[in-house]
Amino acid sequence: MSKKKLPDPLTPDERAALLRVPNRRYLSGLRNLVMMRIMLDAGLRCAEVLALRVAHVDLNTGKLFVREGKGKKDRALWLNPDTIELLREWRERREHQSELYFTTRDGGPINSRYLRAMMERYSERAGLNRHCSPHTLRHTFATDIYKQTRNLELVRRMLGHRFLSTTAIYLHVADPEVEEAMKSFRV
């Protein structure tokens, strides 16, 4: 019987440090920053952000469609205004007018290995002293949205999970009632 590891989301300070690493003056830095922001602000999986097409994002409303995510499921999400502005900037500056939002310098699709290696490199530069992957950003999103809403069903739908039991892991990571009870226990 294998035990599932609890997610280890980024703290607000770690998140801020990570997002300061990419240099927006360079196209690849801006592209990488936008990819990380979308994963952090919408909970996209690595494959979902790499498959994101221009037609899937409405920059006027902030609505983002995930087409055929894991399990071939579609879902709609909304981006915050700061992320929309970053997407606008990226869309205006990118060199290749591909259907894909994020491409290599040559206009080809980005490999998931590149995104994982980039995350490791950036987390090192940010001084995080821990493993940081694209899925860490998804866990951070899920934990933050659960802490804010306390609505596990809402988080399930945002993440595109089929079963609530899959999403229930965030109860163990972000449970303010347990945290408060334990901190004040036998004081």
Active site residue 96: no
- Per-residue pLDDT tens digits for 110-131: 999 999 999 999 999 999 989 8
Does residue 73 or residue 117 have the better pLDDT? 117
pLDDT at 73 over 70: yes
pLDDT at 163 over 90: no
Active site residue 56: no
The first and second tokens of residue 186, run together, are 């036998």
Active site residue 138: yes
pLDDT for 149: 83
Instruction: Give me the catalytic one of 15, 45, 94, 156.
Output: 45
Cα distances (Å, whole numbers) of residue 153 to 13, 99, 135, 145: 28, 32, 20, 11
Domains of the chain: 12-183 (1.10.443.10)
Question: How sure is the predictor about 102, in pLDDT bands with cuts at 50, 70 and 90?
Answer: very high
